[in-house]
Amino acid sequence: MPLYKTDALILRTYKLGEADRIVVFLTRDRGKKRGVANGARRPRSRFAGALEPLTRVGVSYYEREHRDLVRLSYAESQCSPLLASRPDALTHVGYFAELMDEWAQEGDPNERLYRLGTSTLEALAAGVPTAPVARYFEYWLLRLQGVYPPHIVCHRCGTALDAEATGANLDADGHRFTCPDCAGQTMGEDARGVTLSPDALAFLAASGRVPPTSLAGVPLSARVDRELEVVHRSLMRLHLEKELRSTRVLRDLRR
Ligand SMILES: [Zn+2]
């Protein structure tokens, strides 16, 4: 029964039996794992404080041949989202963890996804405002999955989408951005597609260059935040083909 030691991000947990938990976690080196934490629901458990979603932990676990579930031997918190101690940051933590859980494949190493999760956690813990961190996270998650449409030039005519100060339209199937002229030709002038303003494209360009801990210096107005959120939600809906539980929770909070 081999024992593995690594760093990992907690994605979610659920109850098992009287006192245990099943823990879903993304390891730095071996992809997503699912394991049993014996006694995790007991008051003085050795897992106390380490199993909140998006906690970065040092873990060790046993893997058994022909078993899907591993057995967690210990999990020790290295960086906790509770450090952010802002209500809006804490409500988003579950959203980030759920998205990573949806997209991470079991046993398929994905260090870039792991690094996106840890840098997102570090930015929240360092006090970077939640909105830019959320839009950055969505942008990179969709990019890492290869489903973020190119947003530098118009797919049809090649016009630079930011240079013209005109913005970009996302087409209905979510695969291409076009300039407003081309979008008008394909959808009719009165088509009200999903659009990004030049300011939103500038935020994406900055997100391609800086780590999330530097986002406090990148401008993001409430209007641009909303534009990016709408585009990202529609891309996620198209590619996940369902609405996430935590998306509904966030929308209800906004009301
Ligand atoms: Zn065009």
> What is the 193 CA–ligand 1 centroid distance (Å)?
14
- The pLDDT value recorded for residue 212 is 95
- The pLDDT value recorded for residue 166 is 75
Question: Is 90 exceeded by the pLDDT of residue 237?
Answer: no
> What is the 50 CA–ligand 1 centroid distance (Å)?
50
What residues pair up with 160 in beta bridges, in sequence order? 153
- The pLDDT value recorded for residue 190 is 46
> What is the 169 CA–ligand 1 centroid distance (Å)?
10
Q: What is the pTM of this model?
A: 0.90
pLDDT digits (tens, 9 = 90+) for 144-192: 988 899 998 898 998 888 765 678 999 887 889 998 888 887 665 445 5
- Determine contact, residues 178/171, Cβ cutoff 8 Å: yes
At 119, the pLDDT band (50, 70, 90 cuts) reads very high
Question: For the chain, what percent of residues have pLDDT higher than 90?
Answer: 62
Q: Give me the residues near ligand 1 (ion), CB cutoff below 5 Å.
A: 154, 156-157, 159, 179, 182
DSSP 128-151: --HHHHHHHHHHHHHHHTT-SPP-
